[in-house]
Amino acid sequence: MLNRFPAPTSTTFRAAAVAALTLASAFLGGPASAQNAPAAANNAARVPRMSDGHPDLNGIWQTFGTANWDLQDHSPQAGTMWQLGAIGAEPAGQGVVEGGTIPYLPAALEKKKKNFENRRTDDPEAKCYMPGIPRANYLGMPFQIVQSNRDILFVYEFASANRLVNMGKAVEAGSDTWMGTSNGKWEGDTLVVDVTGLNGLAWLDRAGDYMTDNAHVVERFTRVDRDHLNYEATIEDSKVFSKPWKISMTLYRRVEKNAQLLEFKCVEFAEELLYGQYKKQSSK
């Protein structure tokens, strides 16, 4: 038998709400803003710093979301190969795009849809190409930041990709590349990296989101405590998007004993996909 309970009266509900708020206030000891201020100060004090006073970003970092599957909100769905069953299925995930939707121009949105339809063979990740920026930071594999008092090196596990962030006088890109040209500066405790010279061949995720060689990316890395970085990237490309848009997520420091960056040189895993059609067919 289904047990039924009488609905509380409005008087009862109001009394319970007042009691709950009073109890919460007693435990918290005051307004939320007053509680957050000391916490923020404590977090700032726990941020490791270099000898020049800037936050120390050294370490191995990794995201644990589903941004590499799709930057926008997405439901679970079957993968591109039924033979893999649930192993290759896409998990559900919450989007990391500010405002929820990427502002595509109509023609560019159609291309994104075609990319998605052909993602099994056309996604640069499947071909072991360099992941590009910003995708390298949320591909799902760890990466290492090696920071000196001069420049900052980013080393990625996927495809052994890397990039040097120039912290001196800004330089122009000599040519377009997968990882682009990165010029950095400090704005308070935030590392701001201006990325140009991208070749436009990298995708932004497995959903087919993409940019062109007209893209301009500005990244912001903020270490909020010993084990977390806030990461933001603003993407601008007038050939594809109607306005600049931003993604944001948390990067987590790998803290297990002997944490280290391993190799994932994946070219040999993509040879059949890339060159299988050119193999000499055996005669019958």
Spatial distance between the Cα atoms of 244 and 241, rounded to a whole number of angstroms? 7
pLDDT of residue 39: 53
Tokens of 199: 């070749």
**CA-closest candidate to residue 202, choices 109, 132, 128:** 132
Phi, psi of 20 (to 5 degrees): -65, -45
Q: Are 217 and 195 in contact (CB under 8 A)?
A: yes
What is the three-state SS of 69-84? Answer: CCCCCECCECCCCHHH
Please report, to the nearest 10 degrees, the dihedral formed by the alpha carbons of residues 83, 209, 108, 233 taken in order: 180
> pLDDT in tens for each of the 284 residues of the chain?
344 434 444 444 444 444 443 444 444 444 554 555 555 555 666 899 999 999 999 999 999 999 999 999 999 999 999 999 999 999 999 999 999 999 999 999 999 999 999 999 999 999 999 999 999 999 999 999 999 989 999 999 999 999 999 999 999 999 999 999 999 999 999 999 999 999 999 999 999 999 999 999 999 999 999 999 999 999 999 999 999 999 999 999 999 999 999 999 999 999 999 888 887 665 55
User: What pTM was estimated for this model as a whole?
Assistant: 0.83
Spatial distance between the Cα atoms of 148 and 157, rounded to a whole number of angstroms? 20
Residue 144 β-bridge partners: 60, 155
3-state class (DSSP) for residue 170: coil
Phi, psi of 150 (to 5 degrees): -120, -85
pLDDT of residue 277: 83
Q: Are 239 and 108 in contact (CB under 8 A)?
A: yes
Peptide bond preceding 134 in cis form (omega within 30 of 0):
yes
Half-sphere exposure of 48 (CA within 13 A, CB side): 11
Question: Cα 130 vs. chain centroid, distance in angstroms?
Answer: 15
Q: Are 254 and 61 in contact (CB under 8 A)?
A: yes
pLDDT of residue 21: 38
Q: Are 59 and 226 in contact (CB under 8 A)?
A: no
- Token pair 């190969």 in the structure block, residue: 81
Spatial distance between the Cα atoms of 181 and 176, rounded to a whole number of angstroms? 8
Spatial distance between the Cα atoms of 154 and 143, rounded to a whole number of angstroms? 7
pLDDT of residue 276: 87
In Å, how far are 85, 201, 274, 280 from 277, measured between CA atoms?
Answer: 26, 22, 8, 8
pLDDT of residue 278: 84
**CA-closest candidate to residue 141, choices 272, 254, 256, 270:** 254
Give 152's DSSP letter: E
pLDDT of residue 46: 84
pLDDT of residue 106: 98
Spatial distance between the Cα atoms of 64 and 250, rounded to a whole number of angstroms? 8
pLDDT of residue 41: 53
Tokens of 64: 């644990």
pLDDT of residue 279: 75
In Å, how far are 28, 41, 141, 265, 282 from 160, measured between CA atoms?
Answer: 48, 38, 11, 6, 35
